[in-house]
Structure 1
Amino acid sequence: MIGNFDVHNVTSRDIIVHLPSKCDRQLASISALFSKSYAVSTTNSLLLQSCSKPIPAPCEIRPRFLDPSLNLDPCLANSDNITCFASNRSERLLSFEEVNKTECRFFLSSTSFVVDSARNSSFSLEFERVNLGWWIKGPCDCDGNASCELVKRGNSTLGFNCLCNEGFEGDGFRAGAGCRRGLAGGALLMGAVALLCCYVRRRTVSVNKLMNAKRLVSEGANNSSVPFYDYREIEKATNGFSDKHRLGTGAYGAVYSGKLQNVDWVAIKRFRFRDPASIDQVMNEIKLLSSVSHPNLVHLLGCCIEEGEPILVYEFMPNGTLFQHLQRERGQGFPWTVRLTIAAETAKAVAYLHSANPPIFHRDIKSSNILLDHNYRSKVTDFGLSRLGMTESSHISTALQGTPGYLDPEYHQYFHLSDKSDVYSFGVVLVEIITALKVVDFSRPHSEVNLAALANDRIGRGRINEIIDPYLDPHRDAWTLSSIHNVAELAFRCLAFHGDMRPTMSEVAEELEHIRLTAWVPGLCIESPSDTSSPSSDDESQNL
């Protein structure tokens, strides 16, 4: 089937679809007969009803002549405004836009001219059927005994067909059955027909999924007042998603930099093609990010979907992620005052999420999800796993949720993530800020592979000095050493095995702000990079 229409046959050039007469069939239903691999042929005459203006290309056959064959009497009872539409016969294919411009409400049926291939001058008129021309995209790849026929619409080449030479039979494709001489009954052609029917069915499923996904994302954007960008605008902004604009790649896809019209640089997250989970993640991010507003949460600027690929547009973060700076992937490291400020700002953002009504659990707090703007102010991102904290059961799942090394140890017991799970993950981030060590590192001794376990051991035994990042120079003054130890003790409480023993995020945020404000040395002011006008993959980054 294609849409709600049955496929009767597939030939070397056409897909033949049964189209029974129906009075109240909306014109939009014909859109299912147009895709990037097939479209309605101009050998068809379409019967339309309730048109608001004269048809620019009426058929030569009068609709009244078709009444007995198509049983249009019930339709005439509603309106006698039935028009036969045919396109310019110099073209082989129609476009949906061409049909839609007729401004008719209903699509009743279709008739097709069928040419007898044995006698080119002979043709018949078939009722309640529509012929779709089909093609394969890409350069010609036909069997040696076949000719390649380019399929065009106007001046654009859409793809190609392979037609077996006279005396040969088959589908004509080098990668298919090819063309063979003297096979009685057209066995190869029947095999090709079966393959093409399978392709049509799969393509129909893909089209239906795409339409459903586009509807969901469109509804999500409209309901949340999030702008819906045109795909061509996104493509132009990223220079066709070129590697030069690629900022990073993750589990769900890639992030690119781009400059949209009337907007400064943006980060464009392009999800993996046809990944069902990506639609859910897009809807989740749209719903959650449009419902909150905080200076330390990344801003969602818009969304788009094309060919099953969801796309989200965010404000651009020119200084990458906290993870990159701690691992010296960008720069030589941050001084303690800057790290402490980033920690305090991030805690405020997560506490804000937890205080929402209903509360929002991020469920994937980690240093690579903490972005840094021009002034190195933190912005929490990636809400694909986030959930509203409305019911306990809504967060129970046996599927792994979160990132190894940051994951709440209680999750393995109860398969449950909560606000205290975010507290645990943030405790790991605090340890990263102090130590600049990797969260999971198999080059360390077995008992120290997990950073949380290593930190609990050292902090619990009063030996935190052994794992403090040497770059911090903790003994430079009394406040630096004291505040690092205070943050380490706070991290230790966040990493408690039982969630009930951990502080709330509001308490964490308050304590970090108190530690930061006790500084007797002036905070270090870091200037923005001298040139952020043209970010690229070499010097800019954005997390997924």
Structure 2
Amino acid sequence: MVLPVYLSVFFFLFADHSASADECPSFFDCGNLVKLRFPLTTPERKDCGMLPIHGCEDPNAEKTVQLGAKMFLVTRVGISNTEVFIRDADLQKRWVNDGCDALCCNITLPPSSPLGSFNMSPSMVMYKCNSSLNYSLPKQFLNYTGCGQSKNETIFFSTQDEDDTPSSLAACPRVEVPVNTMAFSADPFTFIASEFPVTIQLSNDCASCVSDKGICRLNSTGGFYCSKFKEHRNTRRAWKLGLLIGVPSATVVIIIGLVVIVLRNKRRHKSLGPQNQSRTIESDNTHSNVILEGRHIYFKFPVFSYEELEEATNKFDQSRELGSGGFGTVYYGKLKDGREVAVKRLFERNSCVQQFMNEVKILTRLRHKNLVSLYGGTSRTSRELLLVYEYIPNGTLGCHLHGNLAKPGSLSWPLRMRIAIETANALSYLHASGIVHRDVKSSNLLLDHHFCVKVADFGISRLFPMFVSHVSTAPAGSPGYLDPEYYQFCELTEKSDVYSFGVVLIELISSKPAIIVTRTKDKISLANMAVKKIQRRAFTEFVDPSLCFESDDKVKEMIISVANLAFQCLQRARELRPSMDKVVEFLHKIENGKDDYLKHLEFHGARFSNWEIHTSLPTSLLLDGARSMNDSMPQLPPRTV
């Protein structure tokens, strides 16, 4: 009698599984793109998402998305799956052949639904008007007459988002085009973008459903409902069935149900890979609207008035100053809605516009628990450029290691390991998003009351184009952290951040600053000094004595492994440095005591011989940069090179 019961249990489970085929999987494979999760889906399962990606069934096929009647190439997908980067080849061709033809057509976004809405950001509305007519417009409108001879047109556009079309332009054809705000000028054809992101803003109901591990669906009447993953349902069904059949059979059902769930989770866990696991839904749970209600919006950026920020900082009271760096001074403030903020007041307006736009461009597209949040700022037409960030109350890593908050033993080794891992995770996320920070250092790593890291200051960061090995640009960064190969050849790569992070690892081990002008010239640089001692295995000569290096064998092994990892990050040749993904992997292994490779690393190879000869920056550069630093803490970045 027992065997038939067992067989019936198996039959029920597998019959139930096939019957739930209309339920949505937790993700779709799509070639070289990230795993597609809600709100993205495939054309075969349009009911499982808001935006289908075509070509996923063929790993070698181009991935495309349909907007209106037109297909666009998908270049990449944001980690949160709420941002899809697409390329309009037709727009690019028109722009190259005859710039004025680029303003021929609007891009049609899918309509809003109870699940959410779509947005093309940043974008700009342009009005194509008859050149022979006179137009009276507000001062924020610019006009471009470069199409006048061939088209007899004047192109009007605003430097600020307009809620309504000005009455004088109501009769002019209008077209909304994607733009690159970093290239903004009086000539619109210098900043029209053929590659741009389409973002999906989930509705409040849908965002709550996703945060509860569900999938947003529409019923037959177009109404919203929240569907849970089928493994959750199968678990409940198995329990109910077991109770109906009886105690012996219930035990069998429970065991089989748990095995099925474990196997599914294990298979999905394996397919995600170790790095993607830490990045999957982390951003999906944050569906807050970037645009603040009741405020004017500048390129989809929350805009504050100068007066309200002046009031929030008590007229930029000197007693509220948090620090001063290369591009501005930061003040503590409190908004009328009660939020505590840090307000950066940029120095010279004309020289800081690029840094202002850079932070806006980068921070409004990123969501990560270890990156500082940008709340907004003033518009470019304001009398001063101000940026508003979340206030991080516990100073910087630098001031806790070797500044005015430094106390022996206050940062234990496990806490320093966590800080290293969180920083590496944030940098890995930036690199996956196509961004190189360029100014990684301990004074740009803010700490909250729980000593969680917030990476800050993106004023000189760079958006990195896809499929390129490097970007040629003048060296920028901070003395003591600057990648020597980047300094020598002016070739910026993600490995430049890896070098700077290697210096931060040495700071965590030694509690010493990156530059100490009181040392002899060949020891001014902490990196140079530490590498020589690591090669000689003289760890006791630079490790912070408060870390119990000599008395705790476990801590000793971890510090040696981290020092060896720092050594690899500090290699002169960038191809010898690990990627940030690899750094994260190594740090987790070190923390868990499973790193036998770095623990016993020796330096016998010729490639490590003369390391200091190739990596040393000019002493004058180090000295000049060091002399410009203000020793008071907490500090923002010193002036860049």
Instruction: Report the TM range for the smaller structure's normalisation.
Output: 0.5 to 0.7
Q: 1:269 to 1:371 in 2, by over 3 A?
A: same
Q: 1:27 to 1:422 in 2, by over 3 A?
A: closer
- Structure 2 unaligned blocks of 5 or more: 1-131, 143-165, 170-184, 193-290, 595-631
Query: Within 5 Å, which residues of 2 pair with 1:129-208?
Result: none
1:279 counterpart = 2:389: no
By relative contact order (CA 8 Å, sep 6+), the higher-ranking structure is: 1
**What is residue 472 of structure 2 aligned with on the other side?**
396
Q: Is the 8 A contact 1:318 1:540 kept in 2?
A: no
What amino acid is the match of 1:334?
L
Q: Is the 8 A contact 1:304 1:312 kept in 2?
A: yes
Query: Within 5 Å, which residues of 2 pair with 1:16-95?
Result: 24-29=134-139
Give the drift of 1:29: 5.0
**What is residue 363 of structure 2 aligned with on the other side?**
289
Secondary structure of the residue aligned to 1:508 is helix
Q: 1:508 to 1:232 in 2, by over 3 A?
A: same
Secondary structure of the residue aligned to 1:297 is coil
- Aligned length in residues: 322
Q: 2:413 aligns with which of 324, 329, 336?
A: 336
Query: Within 5 Å, which residues of 2 pair with 1:438-449?
Result: 438-449=513-524
Give the drift of 1:418: 0.6
Distance in 1, matches of 2:511 and 2:489, equals 31
Secondary structure of the residue aligned to 2:389 is strand
Q: Is the 8 A contact 1:371 1:543 kept in 2?
A: no
Distance in 2, matches of 1:316 and 1:242, equals 16
Q: 1:394 to 1:323 in 2, by over 3 A?
A: same
1:507 counterpart = 2:617: no
Q: Structure 2-normalised TM-score?
A: 0.47
Q: Is the 8 A contact 2:513 2:526 kept in 1?
A: yes
Secondary structure of the residue aligned to 2:385 is strand
Q: Is the 8 A contact 1:319 1:540 kept in 2?
A: no
Identity level (%): 41
Give the drift of 1:250: 1.1
**What is residue 188 of structure 1 aligned with on the other side?**
none
Distance in 1, matches of 2:139 and 2:552, equals 74
Q: 1:542 to 1:304 in 2, by over 3 A?
A: farther
What amino acid is the match of 2:560?
H
1:167-225 CA distance string (max 9 Å, x none): xxxxxxxxxxxxxxxxxxxxxxxxxxxxxxxxxxxxxxxxxx99x9xxx9x9xx94763
Secondary structure of the residue aligned to 1:309 is coil
Q: Is the 8 A contact 2:518 2:524 kept in 1?
A: yes
Q: 1:319 aligns with which of 394, 398, 408?
A: 394
Q: 2:336 aligns with which of 232, 256, 261?
A: 261
What amino acid is the match of 2:138?
A
Secondary structure of the residue aligned to 1:283 is helix
Q: Is the 8 A contact 2:482 2:499 kept in 1?
A: yes
**What is residue 382 of structure 1 aligned with on the other side?**
457
Q: Is the 8 A contact 2:470 2:492 kept in 1?
A: no
1:351 counterpart = 2:428: yes
**What is residue 530 of structure 2 aligned with on the other side?**
455
**What is residue 19 of structure 2 aligned with on the other side?**
none
What amino acid is the match of 1:335?
S
Give the drift of 1:467: 0.4
Q: Is the 8 A contact 1:319 1:541 kept in 2?
A: no
- Structure 1 unaligned blocks of 5 or more: 1-21, 33-102, 107-208, 520-538
Give the drift of 1:395: 2.5
What amino acid is the match of 2:371?
L
Q: Is the 8 A contact 2:475 2:486 kept in 1?
A: no
**What is residue 124 of structure 2 aligned with on the other side?**
none
**What is residue 543 of structure 1 aligned with on the other side?**
636
**What is residue 511 of structure 2 aligned with on the other side?**
436
**Quick check: which has more Rg, 1 or 2?**
1
Distance in 2, matches of 1:227 and 1:30, equals 18
Distance in 2, matches of 1:499 and 1:104, equals 57
Q: 1:355 to 1:24 in 2, by over 3 A?
A: same
**What is residue 7 of structure 1 aligned with on the other side?**
none
RMSD: 3.1
Distance in 1, matches of 2:528 and 2:633, equals 33
Q: Structure 1-normalised TM-score?
A: 0.55
Distance in 1, matches of 2:414 and 2:140, equals 63
